[in-house]
Amino acid sequence: MKRREFLKMILLIIPSFYLDPKTVFQVEGREPPNGISFDKKNFKFRGRYQKQIKDGMVLLPEAFIPATIGKELHVLAVNSCFLTLIPGDKYNKERIQKEIEEFKMIEPETRISYLGTTKLKRGGGLFIPRDMRKLVSLRTPEVVILGMGNSIEIWDEKNWQIEIKKCEKDYQEIEKKLSGLGCKNV
């Protein structure tokens, strides 16, 4: 199996939050791999950004601001590891809570908590209260902000590095299993 084919297969296995959408295009060259769609209109938040929290305030990337101005941001805590922000209005809350309950039935070990709503401050600033930062272990001033299509994730830099290491370990295990099936490595 050639490296490009192997990476296409991995893109279908690895959860999307590990990938920058640009990676999808780089693997294939021009078009996304089969089975992966990329609709720029609906994929508002893309990329990975390093930012700092100062006095509880973090500036969202400029590219995210147009899609969040004037909208409520629904805030979720996932596994006490990171915050997820989903833009919408008050009617989205019921849909989000229903999706959380459905997700918990599929993945019972995943802990997702709806924490409420917030809005961006002037200039794209987002205030994250101390208790919320403590809940998701935002201990260091350095954070990683990820564009996840229709949502935004905020990770503590150290937690993000741990998650990346887990992903690399998972990748090695997948690679080993595939080579055991006769797939030549990459």
Whether residue 185 lies inside any domain: the answer is no
Closest CA to 116 of 127, 124, 107, 106: 127
pLDDT above 90 covers what percent of the chain? 23
Whether residue 62 lies inside any domain: the answer is yes
Whether residue 155 lies inside any domain: the answer is yes
Residue 160 has pLDDT above 50, yes or no: yes
What distances in angstroms separate CA 101 from CA 50, 142, 146, 157, one per listed residue?
31, 32, 24, 29
Whether residue 65 lies inside any domain: the answer is yes
Amino acid 177: pLDDT: 74
Q: Across residues 152-166, what is the average pLDDT?
A: 90
- Residues with Cβ within 8 Å of residue 27, at least 6 apart in sequence: 4, 7, 8, 11, 33
CATH code at 43?
3.40.1550.20
Closest CA to 136 of 160, 118, 119, 169: 160
Q: Across residues 59-78, what is the average pLDDT?
A: 88
- Confidence at 52, pLDDT banded by 50, 70, 90: very high
Other C-beta atoms closer than 10 Å to the C-beta of 157 total 17
- Confidence at 33, pLDDT banded by 50, 70, 90: very low
Residue-range definition of the domain harbouring residue 156: 3-180
Residue 155 has pLDDT above 60, yes or no: yes
Amino acid 34: pLDDT: 41
Residue 182 has pLDDT above 80, yes or no: no
Whether residue 9 lies inside any domain: the answer is yes
Whether residue 186 lies inside any domain: the answer is no
Q: Which amino acid is at 87?
A: P
Whether residue 165 lies inside any domain: the answer is yes
- Residues with Cβ within 8 Å of residue 151, at least 6 apart in sequence: 45, 84, 85, 86, 87
Whether residue 7 lies inside any domain: the answer is yes
pTM of the predicted model, to two decimals?
0.70
**Domains: count for the chain:** 1
Residue 28 has pLDDT above 60, yes or no: no
Amino acid 15: pLDDT: 43
Other C-beta atoms closer than 10 Å to the C-beta of 45 total 22
To the nearest 10 degrees (0 to 180), the angle between helices 3-13 and 157-180 is: 120
Could you give the CA distance from residue 39 to residue 181 in angstroms, rounded to a whole number? 34
pLDDT in tens, 117-145: 888 888 889 999 999 999 998 988 999 99
Amino acid 13: pLDDT: 45
Amino acid 184: pLDDT: 61
